[in-house]
Chains A and B, each alone.
Chain A
Amino acid sequence: MNNTSAIELRNVTRQFLSPDGKALTALRDFSMTVARGEFAAVVGPTGCGKSTTLNLVTGLFKPSAGEVRVMGEPVNGIDRRIGFVFQTDALFPWRNVIDNVVAGPIFRGMAKAHAYAEARDWLARVGLSKFEKLHPHQLSGGMRKRAALAQTFINKPEILLMDEPFSALDVQTRAVMHTELLKLWSENRASVVFVTHDLEEAIALADKVYVLTAGPATVKSVYDIKLPRPRNVADIRYDKNFIDISKQIWNDLKSEVQEAQARQTRAA
């Protein structure tokens, strides 16, 4: 049973209706598999449908054709084993940091005292212990992301979905967050799908990089990243292997980015 893959999308097509009632295709004949404990990254041009892949796994979207399986079973509603880190701030602004972090366990029926004890533990791990009584607007962007990570990791997700989680951060903070994420991930090795448009970020973090075509997205190519772990994300971008791989993938991605840009200009 344990050799089934954590996530499997088989020939999935996803269509949706635009606000004016036109059918649009976000994903076309899309297939990907993520093994248990594997860190997969999805890169593609802006607006190609990358985030749709994540929403299919959560069950918030249903595939128009094809099949989505999580832990070997078809997706039926929101799976409790899933954690999701959003691009935008999805913390609850009216709750302080610790009340945000306990949200998951309390929604799931954990006793309050127990939930708060766990939340303190997670806040310590992301370095926010001193800030548990502050509200999100009082924190920096990086601290808000740490709180969001604690909020997600406290549920001990076996599957972790991340939708451009660090794209709003400045470059230095982002590098720190990459290290932080890999540290947290290595502790219980969830299966990860990390969506990004930043190729270097994808290579630095992932075991496998999926390159998507300009929308409607389908898989253009898949690369295994054989850089050794644990990785030092801050320095890895100067590693020779890293540079070789990123040149290779960029050659592949470049034409899709140009295609997406050309379409945007035509549409405008």
Chain B
Amino acid sequence: MTSISPTFDATSAEALEAKAKAANTGYWRKVYFWRISLLVLFLGSWELAARTEVIDPFRYAMPSTIWARLVEWITEGTSEGPLWYHLWVTMEESLLGFFSGSIIGVIAGIALGRNKMAADIFALYIQLINSIPRVVLAPIFTVIFGLGLMSKVALSFVMVFFVVFANAFQGVREADKAMIANARILGASESQLTRSVIIPSALSWIFASLHVSFGFAIIGAIVGEFVGARYGIGLLISIAKGSFDAAGMFAAILIVMVVALIAEYLMTYIEGRFASWKPPVSQDVA
């Protein structure tokens, strides 16, 4: 037997880690640099093109007028009253639609996912209703529920419900067969099985749908406001359109964008707390 002496000293673990860390920082510095550069380039050429009248500033507005409109709305309020009130109304509609749609969607998805016969009975009708482009329901809801809160919540609800329902249903169906058999043999009753195996395993599907569906809830509320409303961001866009106020339209879009982004981050955070058991992705050190 010959022993092999450890001759290598090429890279120690510390050196490798330090190198990877430095490379990582450098990488992200570049990413941020390009992100900011692209934004500046885009806004700058928009502003320039509008000021030199390469594009029509009346129809395309420009970043500076959009910003001015935003500041005016925030400090002095809109022609229809304070901006915060409109934002609050739209948020209230979206949140109500989002929560009612996702809660009922999850319950219906799990219930039908656990009951094959009921699923087969309802499948046809769900497919039929699901094939309706949701926004065409807006006028109907306005007629049924009036110009107030309810018609927008209803539209938000149908936008959210089907997405969440379909994912919860699929998640239940995809639950691992061996895991279910294991729980049964360990002694789980049907309701224990649902609570401790079916729902947790469907949770990642459900969260995936909640991510997109908050965006859908906002779409529902705003489209509802286009069709007929007294308050809301949708109404502001509609009024801006009526008075050919391009800057106002873009300012409203910007507000919706910020709100949707905040919601998205919040959702990712909550999901991260629920899915702490998932394996992290390890890095490739090259």
| Chain A residues within CB distance 8 Å of chain B | 58, 60, 78, 80, 82-84, 86-96, 103-104, 107-108, 135, 137-138, 151-152, 155
Contacts and interface: CB of A to CB of B under 8 A. Distances in A.
Interface residues of B, number: 22
Nearest to B188: A107
B279 A137 contact: yes
A87 B176 CA distance: 13
Residue of B178, B182, B277, B278 most packed against chain A (CB within 10 A):
B182
B267 interface: no
B205 to A, nearest CB: 13
Contact of B179 (A58, A78, A80, A90): A90
Given A103-B196, A137-B279, A86 B183 contact: no
A90 B181 CA distance: 9
A75 to B, nearest CB: 13
Contacts of B196: 92, 103, 107
Residue of B178, B185, B200, B203 most packed against chain A (CB within 10 A):
B185
Contact of B185 (A78, A94, A135, A138): A78
Given A92-B179, A92-B183, 5 more contacts: A80-B187, A86-B178, A104-B187, A107-B196, A151-B186
A58 B187 CA distance: 12
Interface string B168-206: 000000001011011111111100100011001101000
B195 to A, nearest CB: 10
Nearest to B181: A60
A78 B178 contact: no
Residue of A58, A89, A92 most packed against chain B (CB within 10 A):
A92
Q: Which 4 A-B pairs have the closest CB atoms?
A: A90-B182, A104-B186, A107-B187, A108-B187
B207 to A, nearest CB: 12
A103 B188 CA distance: 8
Contacts of A91: 182
B172 to A, nearest CB: 15
29 contacts: A58-B181, A60-B181, A78-B184, A78-B185, A83-B185, A84-B181, A86-B178, A86-B181, A86-B182, A87-B178, A89-B178, A90-B181, A91-B182, A92-B183, A93-B277, A94-B200, A94-B277, A95-B277, A104-B187, A107-B183, A107-B189, A107-B192, A107-B196, A135-B277, A137-B278, A138-B279, A151-B186, A155-B186, A155-B187
Contact of B178 (A82, A88, A151, A152): A88
Interface of B: 176, 178-179, 181-189, 192, 196-197, 200-201, 203, 275, 277-279
A106 to B, nearest CB: 9
B177 to A, nearest CB: 9
A191 to B, nearest CB: 16
Contacts of B197: 92
A90 B14 CA distance: 38
B182 A84 contact: yes
A76 B275 CA distance: 38
Contacts of B188: 103, 107
Contacts of A151: 186
Contacts of B179: 90, 92
Nearest to A85: B182
Contact of A84 (B185, B189, B201, B277): B185
Nearest to B180: A90
Contact of A103 (B183, B275, B277): B183
B279 A60 contact: no
Contacts of B278: 93, 137
B279 A90 contact: no
Contacts of A90: 176, 178-179, 181-182
Contacts of B279: 137-138
A88 B180 CA distance: 12
A91 B197 CA distance: 10
A97 to B, nearest CB: 11
